Amino acid sequence: MEKFVHLDGLVAPLDRNNIDTDAIIPKQFLKSIKRSGFGPNAFDEWRYMDFGEPGQDCTHRPKNPDFVLNKARYQGAQILLTRQNFGCGSSREHAPWALLDFGFRVILAESFADIFFNNCYKNGILPIVLPAGDIEELFRLTDATIGYKLTVDLPEQVIVRPDGRRIAFNIDTFRKECLLNGWDDIGLTLRHANQIKVFEDKRRAEQPWLFA
């Protein structure tokens, strides 16, 4: 997966609690396991006025003008700002796939559902838990300022506002190392590729009937 170190990104506000994974990527799109191409269908039932189908060209679908992520000022946003219990519901990994393909690399929230939280790290998204007061202030600033951006510094574990204020955040040491190096589960395994080859060569020599 792509490494995450620093990000200077536009913020998009999604001012709702308890956004579940079926809202992030509706169930009809779960047939594919390609891990890519889900961006056009992220928040499908909120973004569009019609019913979305897998494989459909979304270019000319009628969009909901009232949905915040359709507004011109938030196009290209890489930081999603939201509220409590983001990513609740079923444990579909398609949800972070869709968010990443949409363009989000950071999610700021008061809390996350556990499985979704873990799946974000496995796919190169940085989910950051912040106190309610900081979240509320960021919503106010984002609404008041067109083009509001934040700098996220993972090595320093800080978010830097345009006014220079720094907001510290916590992250597990192992998860931080994985994001900084771009290691997903496959990448972690491949770090031991030489040892795996030695083991398999030895097993082939000692138990050749397993490879007949």
Integer Cα distance of 118 and 81 in angstroms: 18
pLDDT for the residue numbered 163: 96
On whether both 48 and 97 belong to a single domain, the answer is yes
On whether both 167 and 211 belong to a single domain, the answer is no
pLDDT for the residue numbered 25: 97
On whether both 142 and 158 belong to a single domain, the answer is yes
On whether both 111 and 152 belong to a single domain, the answer is yes
Integer Cα distance of 8 and 160 in angstroms: 9
Q: Is residue 1 part of a domain?
A: no
| 141 Cβ contact list (under 8 Å, min separation 6) | 148, 161
- Number of C-alpha atoms within 13 angstroms, CB side, residue 192? 8
On whether both 119 and 189 belong to a single domain, the answer is no
pLDDT for the residue numbered 35: 80
Ranges of residues in the chain whose predicted pLDDT is under 50: none
pLDDT for the residue numbered 164: 96
| 147 Cβ contact list (under 8 Å, min separation 6) | 10, 73
On whether both 96 and 194 belong to a single domain, the answer is no
Nearest to 20 by CA among 126, 112, 108: 112
Integer Cα distance of 206 and 95 in angstroms: 44
Integer Cα distance of 60 and 130 in angstroms: 37
CATH of the domain at 27: 3.20.19.10
CB-CB contact of 77 with 9 (8 Å): yes
pLDDT for the residue numbered 32: 79
Structural domain range at position 162? 6-181
| 37 Cβ contact list (under 8 Å, min separation 6) | 101
Integer Cα distance of 78 and 13 in angstroms: 11
pLDDT per residue as tens digits for the range 99-149: 999 999 999 999 999 999 999 999 999 999 999 999 999 999 999 999 999
Q: Is residue 195 part of a domain?
A: yes
pLDDT for the residue numbered 184: 81
